[in-house]
Amino acid sequence: MKRYLILSLLALSVFLPLSCEKGYEVEVAGNDARYQSARQAVISLRNEEGKAYFATVEMREDRQDVPVTGRLLGSAAAGAEARLSFGDAGMVERYNELYGTAYEAFPAENASLSEDRLVFRQGSADAQAPVQVSLQAEGLRPGTTYMLPLVSSTTSTGTVAGDPMYLLIKDFRSIPNNDKGVVMFSCIESDDTSVLDNMAFRLRNSGQYLIDVVIIFTSSSVNFSSETGEISMPSNIGTYYQTAHQKGIIDEVHNRGCKVLCTITTHGIAQMDLDAGKEFARKLADFVYAFNLDGIFFDTEYTSFDSSRPGFTGSSTENMARFLLELKRCMPDKMVVTYLYSTLSGLRNVSESDGVPLKDFVDYGLNDYGATIVPAALGNERVGIYSDNFAESYRNISCSNTSRCRTAGTYGAHMFYCLTASRYLNPSSSYRTTRNCLNNIASIWFNDAIVCEPLEDTHKDW
C-alpha cells in the first residue's frame, strides 16, 4: 500500500475534516482499560522493556531472540495459561488499512517460538517465565519495515486474551551499532548547523558516535486559517535543505547508525478532538515517511492555537496524550519524543490513553534545562533528567559539573542544544564548559574519551 505525498517541501499543510471515513474508528491496539474493573483478567503481552503493543526490533545478527512475557490485568485468575501464535499476513494488511501504513508481513518461515505458552501461577499477575520469539534475518531487505503480530488465546477460567503485540522488524546488520546505554539527543538550529556536524563526535576506544539522535529544530509557528480550515506548518530554509537533500544528509546519518527527527512546535496537539487528531496524525506520519525521518520531537513552548473551529477544543492533557497515541499508531516503527516543558509537562500525570501505557506511544521525555520531571509511566530509563544548552547566552551547563553529570548518567537519555564541532574545538576559555561537559560524559558514563573530527562540507551556505 503506497503513501500518497500531499506535502510540499516548504510546508506541511493538512485539511482536517470533521469526521473520518467509515471504519477508521475500529481500533486494532489499545483497549486494556475495558478490563480493569471486569471480573475476568486479560492477558497483556509485554516485551522486556514493558511495552505491550509496539516493539521495534533492529536486527544486528542473522538470528535474534526477543523475550516476551505476559501480565494479567484486572482480577487475576487462580492460575492461568496463555497460548501464543503469530498473526498472519491478513492481520498486517488490516493494520495497514486502518492506520495508513505500508508494512510488509514478516516471513512466516523466519519466525518461531521457544514454546507456545505463558504460565501464570496462582496469586501472581506475572508470567512464570518469558517465551523467546526467534527471528531470522535471511531474505530481509534493508530499508524495509516488517510487521509480525503476536497473539494470545486462553481457555483458563476467568481469563480472556488481550490485544496483539506488534513487532516492527528491520534489518540493521550492515548498520553500525551505537548502543551505549544512554541515548544521546542533539537538538540543532537548522539554519545554523547541518546534522552531519554532530557526526564529528566519537568515542575514542569504542569508535561509536556520541550522538544517537539529531533533532532538526524549526521554531516555525503552526498557522490556522479560519477561512480554509487548514493547518499550515511552514518549514524554515535549513529544515527544507536537510530534508530535500535526503541522500546527501539524512541517509548519511542513517548509514552511521544514527537517527534524525524533525520538530513540531504547537499547543494545538492538546486541543484537537479525536477525529481531528487522527487525521492530523496520519498527515504527520506521511511527512515522516516521505523524508525518511525517524520520528517527531514535540516542543509546545512557543506557539498557541486557534480553537474557534470545529474539531478543536480547550487544551487538555487527555487530548494531547490521545493525539500522541494516534500518531504512534500511524508510525509504530518511528520515534515520538517530547520536551517535558509547557503543555507537555502534563505527561507527568499520564499513565495511559485508550488503555495503552504511556511508554507504548512516547519513546522518550526530555527535560528543560535544570528541570527534573520524570513521568512515572515512562520511568528513568525513558527520560533525560537534565539538558545541556551550549548556546552562547547560556553558561549553566549541567554536565560540566561532575556531580550532576553522574546523576544524569543514571537516566536513559540526555539532550544537548546547539552543540557544534566548532564550539568544542575552539580553544577560547568561553567554550571551556562545552569541552568539560562532553569530556565528563565520555569519561563518567562510557569510560572513554571524546574525539572530534569534523566532516568535510558539513555546513552549507543556505
Q: List domains and CATH numbers for the chain.
A: 40-171 (2.60.40.1740), 183-452 (3.20.20.80)
| Bigger pLDDT: 302 vs 9 | 302
pLDDT of 387: 93
pLDDT of 26: 30
pLDDT of 305: 63
What are the tens digits of pLDDT across the range 321-341?
A: 999 999 999 999 999 999 999
pLDDT interval class at 232 (50, 70, 90): low
- As a whole number, mean pLDDT of residues 213-240 equals 66
Q: Is the pLDDT of residue 357 over 50?
A: yes
Share of the chain above pLDDT 90, in %: 58
| Bigger pLDDT: 37 vs 383 | 383
For residues 220 and 140, what is the distance between their CA atoms, to the nearest angstrom?
A: 39
pLDDT of 194: 86
Grid coordinates of 18:
470533521
Q: Are 127 and 10 in contact (CB under 8 A)?
A: no
Q: Is the pLDDT of residue 310 over 70?
A: no
pLDDT of 4: 37
- As a whole number, mean pLDDT of residues 239-244 equals 77
pLDDT of 350: 95
pLDDT mean across residues, the chain: 84
pLDDT interval class at 77 (50, 70, 90): low
Share of the chain above pLDDT 70, in %: 83
- As a whole number, mean pLDDT of residues 307-334 equals 87
- As a whole number, mean pLDDT of residues 56-66 equals 96
Q: Is the pLDDT of residue 213 over 80?
A: yes
Q: Is the pLDDT of residue 225 over 70?
A: no
